[in-house]
Amino acid sequence: MQQTIRQAAIDSGEETAMIQEGHTYHMDPVKEQGRIVANTYYIKDEGSNLSALAKGMDRADAYKEIRNGMTNIMNGRTMYISLYTRGPKGFPLSFPVVQMTDSAYVAHSAGILYRNDFEGFFEQMDLTDTYFTNLHSTGTLDTEKGRIFMDLKKETTIAFEVSYAGNALLMKKGHHRLAVNRAVKRAIEEGEFDTLSEHMFITGVKGPKDTDRMTWIVGAAPSGCGKTTTAMAGDQFIGDDLAQFLLVDNMLAVVNPECGIFGIVKDMTAESDPNIINLLKTPGKEAIFSNVLITPEGEARWTNDGRPIPEEGINFQGNWTKSMLPDTPIS
């Protein structure tokens, strides 16, 4: 199924195959090279207690925006409906997810980052007593009309007129917020302080050579600060971004909701990040490069990659040449 979705993304033009087996690239609109924070909202009800840092919109107003923005938005398109689990199957906090999108690229990305769980979805839903939903459409990719909504009450995220994975693939940050909300509600309403949903890496470091000891380490840092690099420096890499904790018999268990990596390649070199570079060079390993420079040979290049600057290529802005530096960077 994953290869079918990958081919659909290539056939639709959302992705293009690269010289290395398993690698494709995708370009987002020039105006959508990051999260659209200004147009991201929590749907709130009367009496809702939102953080002072969260931007809220009343439910009636949010529904009006969603109706105006999404009515008939998928007419004539294929909708990809996928079932995933945010974490290992059988773990009580591995929340199942239904994703609906008209973007094969978004569906393909989700299949790399999360565990497909078509057969075990309902069993996992019985275990967690819930499921999350993500509804997305690229629309006409009019970034000015792009909107993102997070509904904590209905445990649903909605996005339209966007394609950048940080905006469209809300199983990641959006559903992390839903998981955080569940942990907070459990503590406040039930008085149970046995769960945490955190933005952390997970890695294991072996003890002295004459022991079998493994020390598990979790750590938090803002986006772009090197969590992936730090996590992969350990002896047993578990995850680079999200961590779901559960206290079981006075022991703290932690899992990675994801099974793939969504990382920033800017400033990444073979010297600073040898593990990641070696992984990307491994034949057959699946990877999607977004908004970087693609050379005529079909190779991905990016800003400060530690290699001689290429003469030309294409990036999210179109055709690029070395003469356009420094006003127009590689990526």
* All domains in the chain, ordered by first residue: 1-28+264-331 (2.170.8.10), 31-189 (3.40.449.10), 192-255 (no CATH)
Q: What is the pLDDT of residues 85-112, one digit of tens each?
A: 999 999 999 999 999 999 999 999 999 9
The distance of Cα 290 from the centroid of its chain, to the nearest Å, equals: 13
Report the DSSP beta bridge partners of residue 40. Answer: 148
pLDDT, position 314: 97
Q: For each successive 10 residues of the chain (331 residues), what is the average pLDDT?
A: 92 96 96 96 90 90 98 98 97 98 98 95 96 98 98 98 97 96 94 95 91 92 84 92 95 96 92 91 93 96 96 96 93 91
State the Cα–Cα distance between residues 212 and 208, nearest whole angstrom: 8
The tokens for 79 are 């909708």
- In degrees and rounded to multiples of 5, residue 182 shows phi and psi of -65, -45
Instruction: Round the average pLDDT of the chain to a whole number and report it.
Output: 95
CA angle 273–283–321, rounded 5-degree value: 65
Place of tokens 């493994």: 214
281/200 Cα distance (integer angstroms): 26
Q: Identify the bridge partners of residue 67 per DSSP, sorted by sequence position.
A: none
Question: What span, in angstroms and rounded, lies between the C-alpha atoms of 6 and 2?
Answer: 6
**pTM for the full predicted model:** 0.94
pLDDT recorded at residue 183: 96
Residue 326: cis peptide before it, omega within 30 degrees of 0: yes
CA distance 291 to 300: 10
Please tell me the predicted confidence (pLDDT) of residue 212.
87
What is the CA angle 6-315-38, rounded to 5? 85
Q: Shortest CA distance to 218 belongs to which of 196, 185, 188? A: 196
312 strand-pairing partners? 321
> For residue 23, what is the enclosing H or E element?
strand 23-26
The residues annotated with a catalytic role in the active site are: 225
For the chain, the residue count is 331
Virtual torsion, Cα 260, 35, 97, 52, nearest 10 deg: 120
Q: What is the pLDDT of residues 112-123, one digit of tens each?
A: 999 999 999 999
The SS3 of residue 249 is coil
